């Protein structure tokens, strides 16, 4: 029969548990990269060749999902472009709505994927299609991110137009609250 001294065993077990907890918390505290969430409003530039296109994004976490997923609103002044969205696929001049709306989610530490949609309208303001923007942002500081964005075009019935989607680099700066 084996005899175990309960008091001594309890002390050893307590010491092992405390040391394990300390090792775990020390390991967690050694993460060299802080976590930055996208929440807030950002001034952003998309760079296509030598042209920088400014726009603004606002990211908000869903309730009880802080830093994991949320909604995004994007504002971008868009000029007119020719797309095959007219009768029988004829080229017509279209523009996107000033605001796009969508969702974002965390895909890894300091990496967030997003998708936002805008309505495409003809010169009379009639909806003729959709444009889907998707990409990723990677905050590398509390108030800065790098990323990329691409666009895909669709008819009103969500049939994809045969237009290649090329990723474009983006860079953003968080809008800071300034005192009076």
How confident is the model at residue 152, as a pLDDT? Answer: 96
Confidence check: pLDDT of 57 > 70: yes
From the list 43, 58, 37, the residue with the least C-alpha distance to 173 is: 43
From the list 72, 79, 23, the residue with the least C-alpha distance to 53 is: 79
- The arithmetic mean of pLDDT across residues 142-162, rounded, is 96
- The arithmetic mean of pLDDT across residues 139-147, rounded, is 96
| Sign of the C-alpha dihedral computed for residues 64, 106, 56 and 152 taken in this order | negative
pLDDT-derived band at 178, boundaries 50, 70, 90: confident
From the list 39, 92, 95, 99, the residue with the least C-alpha distance to 70 is: 39
Where are the domains positioned within the chain? 1-30, 40-174
Token match 């942002």: residue?
137
Least confident range of 13-22, 55-64, 154-163? 13-22
How confident is the model at residue 180, as a pLDDT? Answer: 65
How confident is the model at residue 16, as a pLDDT? Answer: 45
Least confident range of 86-90, 103-107, 144-148? 86-90
Enter the tokens of residue 87: 């009768």
What backbone torsions phi and psi does residue 29 show, to the nearest 5 degrees? -75, -10
Under 8 Å between Cβ of 119 and 105:
no
Q: CB atoms < 10 A from the CB of 123, how many?
A: 10
Q: What whole-number percentage of the chain has pLDDT above 90?
A: 67
Q: Which fold has domain 40-174?
A: Lipocalin (2.40.128)
pLDDT in tens, 111-136: 999 999 999 999 999 999 999 999 99
How confident is the model at residue 19, as a pLDDT? Answer: 43
Strand partners, 148: 136, 169
């Amino acid at each position: 029969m084996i005899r175990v001294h309960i008091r001594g065993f309890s002390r050893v077990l307590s010491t092992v548990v405390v040391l394990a907890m300390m090792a775990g918390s020390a390991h967690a505290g050694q993460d060299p990269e802080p976590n930055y969430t996208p929440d807030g409003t950002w001034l952003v530039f998309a760079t296509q060749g030598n042209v920088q296109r400014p726009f603004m994004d606002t990211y908000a976490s869903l309730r009880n999902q802080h830093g994991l997923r949320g909604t995004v609103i994007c504002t971008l002044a868009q000029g007119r472009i020719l797309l095959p969205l007219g009768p029988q696929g004829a080229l017509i001049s279209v523009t996107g709505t000033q605001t796009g709306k969508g969702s974002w989610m965390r895909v890894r530490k300091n990496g967030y994927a997003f998708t936002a949609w805008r309505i495409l309208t003809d010169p009379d303001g009639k909806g003729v299609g959709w444009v889907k923007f998707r990409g990723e942002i990677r905050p590398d500081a509390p108030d800065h991110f790098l990323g990329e964005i691409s666009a895909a075009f669709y008819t009103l019935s969500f049939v994809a137009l045969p237009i290649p989607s090329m990723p474009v680099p983006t860079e953003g700066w968080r809008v800071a609250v300034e005192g009076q």
